[in-house]
A and B are shown apart, each in its own frame.
Chain A
């Protein structure tokens, strides 16, 4: 049976779509048939990050309304095998996401995929609720700052009380923390919350720390999930994250300030 994973955060702009794109790509790269759905109806972005915006014909809402079948709407990724994208509708709003409709689409996807990744919109309204309702597991994306942490805390409360698993008394949605845009030197200076601070407040297992990186912006604009950028720290961190999700035990990288090499010390004049 397929696993449904929601990528959520409460707050906007923390890296949900970036994480969804890289996470789904990483799962597919490792051989799992993976579909990623954009739940941000009306503010479609995932197709841009995945670089398939020119190939959107039908979308999620068309499938919900029966105007297209799933195979017509799913976009096959050109670079990675086993990876499919279900884009959001740009011309509709979140009201188009009915519980019955979303369930129907997810059930159909679960027939032919091993992982279904739901990219949640920001907020705690209908779009976000529908994205998390059917989830088995959740990646909660948080930035190391207080407002983001509080919004993630709120989303964790909603996962624990308003998901289908909670409503039906099934085992709870498995929660994973993804701490993104982390800058160790700023955390050391106290400008940012540290990994420990965030873990203490949220109290859920840490799946990965994604360092703040220029590459994320560049690859987003280029329509390439950052996990595919060889040699980038953020890409490597997403790779580790996917491996950990699949059960590997790996140490967390990029969470401590890197020691300056001899030459750097020499030239920085300190």
Chain B
């Protein structure tokens, strides 16, 4: 996923962009919350591997914590870990009381990532990019839009119909209407169809009308993509 801030003026380059990424982090599994005991053991560990504890980001796992959850001093815990070369970036697991206390100390809650939990979740797992699948032909006068993802049409798109997607467009049938892919600016978006007979094809606003499609390309299985800001039409099967 890519979220790019919109430029405020036409000439101004966007000052930032947000991207998702995966990190490997050290997890500190806590079994009790007594600061003195933790510190004693911590000093012991650091002696074994001093180089490891050098502003190392850690996630505090509270799963194994036993004992009362009241009055836990996360601010104190945070300072203790910082003092020994660890930077807590968040917590995971633990009961609601522990989580609330951690939140007050500015430690965000991270999702569980254990295999058991992942397997349980996969039943109702949410697709990464939402694509919209249409199982019927799209008739003249109908408009279908797939927001934040691809549009997949299992059937023909009639003349006078319009299909629009933020991502790619796939038509498993004849594309006779108008197809507009990547309308929010995704220059990687493509259009795929079994038979290109479109009234209009467009990617990120670059378009071609029916007249501008070579007769040799018509009626063929084609893909359409952007290369150097120009629309390229290419047979899917050579």
A203 to B158 alpha-carbon distance, docked (Å):
10
A200 to B139 alpha-carbon distance, docked (Å):
13
Which residues from A are CB-within-8-Å of B159?
Answer: 150, 153, 201
- A154 within 8 A of partner (CB): yes
* Chain B interface, number of residues (Cβ within 8 angstroms): 15
Is there contact, CB below 8 Å, between B155 and A157? no
Which residues from B are CB-within-8-Å of A154?
Answer: 139-141, 160
The interface bits of chain B over 103-118 (1 if a CB of A lies within 8 angstroms of the residue's CB, else 0) are 0000000000000000
- B137 within 8 A of partner (CB): yes
Which residues from B are CB-within-8-Å of A200?
Answer: 174
- A160 within 8 A of partner (CB): yes
Which residues from B are CB-within-8-Å of A158?
Answer: 139, 141
B173 (CB) vs chain A CBs: closest residue: A203
Contact of A203 among B140, B156, B160 (CB under 8 A): B156
For the complex, would chain A's binding face be called helix, strand, loop or mixed by DSSP majority?
helix
Which residues from A are CB-within-8-Å of B139?
Answer: 153-154, 156-158, 160
Query: A132 → chain B, closest Cβ, in Å?
Result: 14
Contact of B158 among A124, A153, A161 (CB under 8 A): A153
Is there contact, CB below 8 Å, between B137 and A203? yes
* Chain A interface, number of residues (Cβ within 8 angstroms): 13
- Residues of A183-207 at the interface with B, using a CB-CB cut-off of 8 Å, are 200-201, 203
Is there contact, CB below 8 Å, between A203 and B155? yes
A153 to B136 alpha-carbon distance, docked (Å):
13
- B26 within 8 A of partner (CB): no
A161 to B137 alpha-carbon distance, docked (Å):
12
Query: A223 → chain B, closest Cβ, in Å?
Result: 35
A150 (CB) vs chain B CBs: closest residue: B140
Query: Which of A151, A157, A160, A200 neighbours the largest number of chain B CB atoms within 10 Å of its CB?
Result: A157
- B142 within 8 A of partner (CB): yes
A200 to B197 alpha-carbon distance, docked (Å):
13
Query: A228 → chain B, closest Cβ, in Å?
Result: 35
Is there contact, CB below 8 Å, between B156 and A157? no
- With A203-B137, A203-B155 known as contacts, the answer to whether A161 contacts B160 (CB < 8 A) is no
Is there contact, CB below 8 Å, between B142 and A150? no
- Residues of B108-166 at the interface with A, using a CB-CB cut-off of 8 Å, are 136-142, 155-156, 158-161
A203 to B156 alpha-carbon distance, docked (Å):
9
The interface bits of chain A over 157-174 (1 if a CB of B lies within 8 angstroms of the residue's CB, else 0) are 110110000000000000
Report A's interface with B, CB cutoff 8 A.
124, 150-151, 153-154, 156-158, 160-161, 200-201, 203
Known: A153-B159, A160-B136. 12 other contacts (CB 8 A): A150-B140, A153-B140, A153-B158, A154-B140, A157-B140, A157-B161, A158-B139, A200-B174, A201-B156, A201-B176, A203-B137, A203-B156
